[in-house]
Every structure is written in structure tokens, then in C-alpha cells.
Structure 1
């Protein structure tokens, strides 16, 4: 887990992510930084951009987990044995001259595009 509170951090969170990637680990990032009590997607935090800037060769795969609020309620560490649908989107990379805001907007759109609700609406 990455410590989000800057006053409690003892290490650079992006360096921790880079070390994990360099060790061959996969990362699961919840880019909103917190759970939204309502439906919808909150704005993304900039950690993804900073990681992509440090490791531009990485591909980021948007993953939509439908029914996440029931499967893994806020504050819980282990998922409950309930059904959920996981949809994988098209991988994306940071473009060389892409700004933080542009990359996060593109990543957010990629996540929304992989949402089962969005896929059903297009069918």
C-alpha cells in the first residue's frame, strides 16, 4: 500500500512503484485515490502520470470492476465472495509531449470506455 498522506510518508511513493515494476511486479492502482460513495468516476490523481513519466515504456491497462462496492466495501482489505464483472480496456502509454491533465483525461476516458454500461450502450 502507498501512504497517501504526505505528512505520514517516509518514502517517495513513485519511487516505490518504480521499484516494484523494476522487480517485475504488476501494479493495481485505484486512480481516484478514494472510493466514491456515489455512482460515477471521480477525477484521477496524478500518480499515474508521474509513474508514466518515470517509466514511459510501461503500458497501462484500464480495468473496470463492476459491483466493486459490494465485492470489496470501502475500508475492507479482503473481497467478499460475490460475483463481479471485470472488463479490460485497451492499453495506453504516455505520449512524449503529453501533459498531466491530457494524460489523465485520456486514461479516464479509456476506463469509462471499458465500463460494461458503456459497452452495452454502444451495442
Structure 2
């Protein structure tokens, strides 16, 4: 199977992959946003927050057809960190550190809300 061999600053972190159909991602994200006063919720003048993260995750289907969100890596990065992602063929991969199954009832409710919103938007 295709897998991602992940290293951070020269240290092996994980080998992530899926035996079944699904999605495998490795994402580096940087966000700068305005800082807000915790009491008032108002923007702080010249205040900003920065967030630099690295995530390795995926989506898969369980045997019963329910979707599952998978997570191997969820880390904060800092300037100078070095990430190596090697795409490999692997017979064995690491288990995700986190696996969250979709709630079918919640998914159904979300789909219905989306359908109703589109129907309202495009109904003639």
C-alpha cells in the first residue's frame, strides 16, 4: 500500500497509510489572526496570534460503512523545524493515534440542513 513515512527534525514520527480505500493527507498550516480581548471579544490593537501546525490524517470507512476520521500526527511547529515526507510502498503501517467514527444520525441531520439550504437558495 502507499504510505507516508514521516520524519520531524530527523526523528521518525510515524508511517501512515490505509489498507482500504480512503484519503491520506499531510498538511502544514500557518495562521495569523487578530487577538481578541477575552472579556469583551473586541480586537486588541496591534495584537495577533500565530499558529503553525503539522497534521497527518485521513478518512476511511469502517466495515459497517461508517466514516472515520484518522489522525497520526497533530503537532505545533516552530521556525526551523524540518519535515520529511517520503512516499513509500509499505506492507505494514502504524495505527492512527486517534480514530473518530462519524455519527450517522448527525451526518444525516447535516445533509438534510444542507439540502434544505440549497433548496431554499435555488427554488424557483
Q: Which has the higher helix share?
A: 1
TM-score (norm 2): 0.26
Structure with max Cα Rg:
2
Higher relative contact order (CA 8 A, sep 6+): 2
More strand by share: 2
TM-score normalised by length of structure 1: 0.26
